[in-house]
Structure 1
Amino acid sequence: MLFFYRILTILLWIPIRVLSLSIPAAREFFRVRKEDFVRIRSLPDPDPARKVIWFHASSVGELDQCRALATVFRKRKPETLILQSVFSPSVRESQLDAFPADVTFHLPLDFPWAYGFLFDKFRPRTLVCMAWDRWPNLLLSAKKRGIRTLLACAVITPPAGFLGKKFYRCVFALFDRIYPSHLSAEKNFRELLGQKAEIRTLGDCRIDTVIRKVESNPGSFRRPNGYPFPKVLLLASTYEECEGLFLPLLSEPSLNDFAFWIFPHKTDPARIRSILTEVSRRTENVRLYTSGPFEAANARVVVFDVLGILAFAYQAADFAYVGGGLHHRVHNVLEPAYFGLPILTGPKIDHSPEAKELNSQGGLFIVKNEKDVLETLSLPSERLEKIASSNRAFLESGRGAAERIYEELEK
């Protein structure tokens, strides 16, 4: 399977480069990687005696996992040279600039020849991928050079069909060790790779990042003074599909005491205007977060057109909806769980072990229609108290995952 994968990637090289000439996003993809290559090539070679570790994150969520680990290394072994790569364009340059690593860059496309200059220049002792990320040619290049390969905070989605399962088995077998985020994921990995595989559940170190973030600014976000709505439904990381489900509920009489706070996944001007237009068709009681002092706000619907405050805003809400699960995959559910909120999301949670665990424990609810939403928002207070305790306990049980993974990496 891996042989055919390598051949396929070679054959795709020319078509991909040709297509990139006419697709702006593809041109940008290759531009940033070319700039990274030039910058890295100009860096001095590290001291051969210095320990080098390479963390790779696919996107923003996995970068949070890497941040927790990198923070531990900075504290315990500050002399370690840390490399941090990312793949998704959703990772902003400011996030990379603020990351506690010595060198950051965007991962090249997974061609057999793509990684040689990185391995030869930095000579890392360990390559750590996060969650579900498994680039076969990257792992093969590392194995060829005797570099230890690990998958931390590991999750696995069910492979499709016989060939999918066979491919999964070949690729995940390239990792020397796998550290699942939860016991349910460990079970799935063992079913795939067998009982002799080096697999041990150590937790999700993104929990450490979430806890550190929210505990660093306790009480930093509050409801407006004299706010006329006793309950707040916070809609996080929303897409059009999410608003299509929730905005009609503005006319639902049983929710008259609910305010709707909307945090769209993207906050570009066109997206914000679109949301305001849709809300205004149903109510005039709407405002932008930045339209004036929030402390004096009294609008029922608030559209948040800024980034960086969502994690803290959960503490002022009563219920949280987390977007992505209606059409693609659910976003981060750990932050609302930390504050003990009942969590609503769509059915696409298979990639997220924390969402599945919270769902199995009764603190996360799958909603597909208005009826599902109304049932969840009308839960009795006794049930809500149990959910708050359960969701907080789930976060506490995961505290310290980064330290546990660090100890394993140092063995």
Structure 2
Amino acid sequence: MTELGILDRLRRRRRVSSPIVEAYLEEAAPAPKKSGPWSDPFLIGMNLAGIAISPFLAVHKLRRFAGYRNIDEINPERWFIKPVNPQATAAVRALPGPHVMIVGASFGELLLMERVTEELEAKLGPIGISWVLRDRETIRQAAKFHPNRSLAYWPFDSLYPVVRLLRSMRPDLMVMTERYRAANLVVGASRSGVSTVLINGRWRRRPPFVEGIQRGFARKLLSSFRTLLFQSQTHLDSAKPLLNPEQVVKITGDLKYDLRQKDLSPEAAASLAAWLGDGPPILAAGSTDVPAEEEMVLSAFMAVREETPCRLLLAPRRPNRRDEVLKMLERYGLKASLRSSPTEGADVFILDTMGELAWAYRYSVATYVGGSFSGMGHNVIEPVGYGLPVTYGMRRGHFESMQKLCERHGVGFRVADAGELSEIWKRAVLDREFADGVRAKGAALVEAQRGAMRTTVDALEAEIVALRKRGGRAA
């Protein structure tokens, strides 16, 4: 056995551990072999199975599209992958050092990607960083506010679009933000010699029967990551039986606590403030997913209005649902004003734009965050940062730890129906002592949870430095 092999084996057995040994192993380690995704039996088998059940998958996609009016379920640009802005991608390739490709789903992940990119560029100087996003509207927002950023669509989880992405972007390092169950992308990138990292990761335990069926798939998926950065010890403990000893695994905390409120331009901020105007207190419902959820919100709002004057800020998760929401408001006899087409004297303000919700929360006195009745929930910490009580439905989804933390601090409230929601909203409007207490506790909670960004960026910097030592860009 070689000297390198002996040291590596001793390190795995925890008999040798020092910065010198770690640095030696990192520098001496050969670059990963690049065999490509087409040579992986696991991926070939999974894709053949996908072809066999493709009629059922097509029906499933069409049903989801019909239910949510979500073009991202059938968007052909996620199949025929190419750079969204080829000139920016070419400029990224011309920069020295490894090409970093950060992958995220929608607007929430885009906020994380923006901050991580800022921190990396501040520490390392000019470096080639591309963003890969799933949602069409999020891509448009990224292109609007970052016209020189290299962008591409997150491919459907099939070998053909994944290979197109890897060939067109040619990354050396792929960073997955939170979501990672795209096996073709993760395993395919790893097989192509791309270093893969998961940041802000989470892993939930499944029922034993389901976990037994998925164990081989999950082990293959997680073992394809070189580095995994988890939000908490709970997530790490759930994933630990599936990990390999040689993988780098750390607990960083949740990056969402480190996000700064996204600044609007002075013109946009002034326009938003003028649109909402002066008047009775505003109750906010953000990221609502389905009509049943909006019906509950409107019922709660009407109950509060019976006791005290108030207004409602309603932000559907997908702005293209505004016509559906307008018809619902007509049935309640409520006058609406669209952010895209303002009118005066409104009872309900519909925020049918992207990127303004987090800023708009500051004008409210209490909030409801949607997606927790039929979906997997959304980020509940944004309104807490303004010192506001936050409510949400009964499904924990991806935000269980964040919700429970808010509940322990007395700033988060789980509601089962319109009656429970209206009671919390009434307290926020009428009980000054309650509102002041939530404000103080919310600020303390957010401050105590910060620090994940620094740990995450340090880990990514180490990956980039290691790639530079090994020769940089992948072939």
Given residue 386 of structure 1, which amino acid in structure 2 is its aligned partner? G
Say if 1:64 and 1:325 are closer, same or farther in 2 by CA, change over 3 A. Answer: same
Say if 1:378 and 1:97 are closer, same or farther in 2 by CA, change over 3 A. Answer: closer
Say if 1:215 and 1:116 are closer, same or farther in 2 by CA, change over 3 A. Answer: closer
Match of 1:401 in 2: 452
Given residue 388 of structure 1, which amino acid in structure 2 is its aligned partner? R
Is residue 56 of structure 2 the alignment partner of residue 9 of structure 1? no
SS in 2 for 1:393: helix
TM-score by length of 2: 0.71
Given residue 272 of structure 1, which amino acid in structure 2 is its aligned partner? R
Match of 1:256 in 2: 308
Distance in 2 (CA, whole Å) between partners of 1:310 and 1:45 is 31
- Choose the corresponding residue for 1:30, options 59, 69, 76: 76
Contact 1:50 1:79 in 2 (8 A): no
SS in 2 for 1:129: strand
- Choose the corresponding residue for 1:374, options 414, 419, 422: 422
Map Cα deviations across residues 202-237 of structure 1 (whole Å, 9 max, x no partner): 23334444x14159879855485651x2x3211112
Distance in 1 (CA, whole Å) between partners of 2:273 and 2:398 is 32
Look at both structures and tell me which one has the larger radius of gyration over its CA atoms. 2
Is residue 330 of structure 2 the alignment partner of residue 280 of structure 1? yes
Match of 2:131 in 1: 84
Say if 1:167 and 1:12 are closer, same or farther in 2 by CA, change over 3 A. Answer: closer
- Choose the corresponding residue for 1:343, options 390, 394, 401: 390
Say if 1:3 and 1:277 are closer, same or farther in 2 by CA, change over 3 A. Answer: same
Given residue 45 of structure 2, which amino acid in structure 1 is its aligned partner? I
Map Cα deviations across residues 107-141 of structure 1 (whole Å, 9 max, x no partner): 33333455446546655332111103232232333
Contact 2:83 2:168 in 1 (8 A): no
Distance in 1 (CA, whole Å) between partners of 2:397 and 2:334 is 38
Say if 1:301 and 1:54 are closer, same or farther in 2 by CA, change over 3 A. Answer: closer
- Choose the corresponding residue for 1:267, options 308, 314, 319: 319
Q: Please, which moves more after superposition, 190-199 or 86-95?
A: 190-199
Given residue 186 of structure 1, which amino acid in structure 2 is its aligned partner? L
Match of 2:413 in 1: 365
Contact 1:68 1:205 in 2 (8 A): no
Is residue 224 of structure 2 the alignment partner of residue 174 of structure 1? yes
Say if 1:196 and 1:125 are closer, same or farther in 2 by CA, change over 3 A. Answer: closer
- Choose the corresponding residue for 1:94, options 141, 146, 149: 141
Given residue 69 of structure 1, which amino acid in structure 2 is its aligned partner? V
**C-alpha root-mean-square deviation of aligned residues, in Å?**
3.8
Contact 1:84 1:101 in 2 (8 A): no
Contact 2:372 2:392 in 1 (8 A): yes
Contact 1:235 1:261 in 2 (8 A): yes
SS in 2 for 1:281: helix
Distance in 2 (CA, whole Å) between partners of 1:185 and 1:215 is 34
Match of 2:262 in 1: 213
Say if 1:183 and 1:92 are closer, same or farther in 2 by CA, change over 3 A. Answer: same
Contact 1:57 1:129 in 2 (8 A): yes
Say if 1:73 and 1:259 are closer, same or farther in 2 by CA, change over 3 A. Answer: same
Task: Flag the structure with higher helix content.
Answer: 2
Map Cα deviations across residues 346-369 of structure 1 (whole Å, 9 max, x no partner): 122221243343234332211121
Distance in 1 (CA, whole Å) between partners of 2:138 and 2:432 is 39
Q: Is there any run of 5+ residues in structure 2 with no aligned partner, and where?
A: 1-39, 66-70, 463-475
SS in 1 for 2:156: coil
Given residue 437 of structure 2, which amino acid in structure 1 is its aligned partner? K
Say if 1:281 and 1:96 are closer, same or farther in 2 by CA, change over 3 A. Answer: same
Distance in 1 (CA, whole Å) between partners of 2:169 and 2:352 is 41
1:312 Cα shift?
1.7
SS in 1 for 2:129: strand
Match of 1:132 in 2: 179
Distance in 2 (CA, whole Å) between partners of 1:120 and 1:409 is 23
Map Cα deviations across residues 352-409 of structure 1 (whole Å, 9 max, x no partner): 2433432343322111212321332244543433322232233334445333312111
Say if 1:360 and 1:133 are closer, same or farther in 2 by CA, change over 3 A. Answer: farther
Q: Please, which moves more after superposition, 275-284 or 315-324?
A: 275-284
SS in 2 for 1:199: strand
Distance in 1 (CA, whole Å) between partners of 2:316 and 2:302 is 21
Percent identity of equivalent pairs: 19
- Choose the corresponding residue for 2:295, options 244, 247, 250: 244
Dislocated runs of 4+, deviation >6 Å: 17-24, 215-219
Distance in 1 (CA, whole Å) between partners of 2:136 and 2:228 is 26
Q: Is there any run of 5+ residues in structure 1 with no aligned partner, and where?
A: none
Is residue 208 of structure 2 the alignment partner of residue 188 of structure 1? no
Match of 2:441 in 1: 390
TM-score by length of 1: 0.81
